[in-house]
Amino acid sequence: MTYLFYPGCSMDASALEYKTSMLAVFKTLGAEVQELKDWTCCGASVAPVMSDLLGLALPARNLALAEQNGERELLVGCSACYTNFLRVAQAAANPATLARINQALEVENVTYHGRIRARHMLEVLATDYGKDAIAALVKRPLKGLKIAPYYGCQTVRPYASYDDGQHPTSMVGLIEALGATVQHHLHEATCCGTALLTTKPHVGFEIVAQILNAASSADCIAAVCPMCHLNLDSYQDKASMVLGKPVKVPVLFLPQLIGLAFGLPQSDLMLQREVVPVDSVLAKLPA
């Protein structure tokens, strides 16, 4: 299969390990992934707050570039980018809104037609490949490892249709295919606090603490969003202060875990980039 890929800002910077492991996993699956040329920031969660039109035009520019390639689908790894793309597609169903968007895009000499659909990496792994295809490539089963899935809020809602927005299960089959045990918890689809950790940190730390506490019986957490990973991985000291007890749970991106099971080299997985060391995870795996 061939996919046109939009990395977004995070996957080229703070979440570089997400991008490299994802590309390595797709290559192992036999997929061809081509990065969208001349892509720019989608505006994430900030642009719509500043201007509704800006919040639509920024993602629409990237979708318009993808349409120029003749593509019908765009692979996305960042859940915020994914949500923005789906939001603009829904808004563009209104002809008047689509006209406003394209008027703003005139300076870029591109036109958005609303013909391309964004697909999250998790959806592609779960539906285009699935449990059996993943299991067939496992060389180093993650047997004995308890993995807590964490979807966050934007990966499965408000626009996603491939999974249940309140009780998602798309990660379950993939984790089981690796030979690991799924450690369910009550905060699998709750918000990680996103930018609250910079605007209202006391609220953000409380949210992160609740998630980490719920998943603390797992050996690690599997994330599929750069912001979720950043918040859960980087603020465990603060969460420990909120909880009044130490919490230390390694947080890995789902493709990193798949890559471990596939036996991919460390250079593809970049496990050294995690704030909370993954040594405890690796120690449970066969050599």
Over residues 267-280, the pLDDT tens digits come to: 999 999 999 999 99
pLDDT band at residue 104 using 50, 70 and 90 as cut-offs: very high
By 3-state DSSP, what share of the chain in percent is helix, strand and coil, each rounded to 5?
50, 10, 40
pLDDT in tens, 194-227: 878 888 989 999 999 999 999 999 999 999 999 9
CATH of the domain spanning 2-120: 1.20.1050.140
Rg (C-alpha) for the chain, rounded Å, is 19
Alpha helix stretches (DSSP H) within the chain: 16-28, 47-50, 52-68, 79-91, 95-105, 121-123, 130-135, 170-177, 196-199, 201-214, 226-234, 236-243, 254-262, 266-269, 279-283
CB 223 within 8 A of CB 8: no
| Interval 153-179: pLDDT, tens | 999 999 989 999 999 999 999 999 999
Cα dihedral sign, 203-146-270-247: positive
Token match 């807590």: residue?
148
The pLDDT of residue 48 is above 80: no
Q: Summarize pLDDT for 236-262 with one digit per residue, the tens.
A: 999 999 999 999 999 999 999 999 999
pLDDT number for residue 197: 80
Residues of the chain with CATH 1.20.1050.140: 2-120
Asked whether the beta carbons of 217 and 146 are under 8 A apart, the reply is yes
Instruction: Give tens-digit pLDDT for 107-138.
Output: 999 999 999 999 999 999 999 999 999 999 99
Listed residue (75, 21, 98, 56) closest to 253, CA to CA: 21
Domain 133-283, CATH among 3.40.50.11810, 1.10.3720.10, 3.40.630.30, 3.40.1160.10: 3.40.50.11810
Give 192 or 45, the one with higher predicted confidence. 192
- Enumerate the CATH 3.40.50.11810 domain ranges in the chain, comma separated: 133-283
Which pLDDT value is given to residue 71? 77
pLDDT tens digits for 49-86? 788 899 999 999 999 999 998 878 999 999 999 999 99
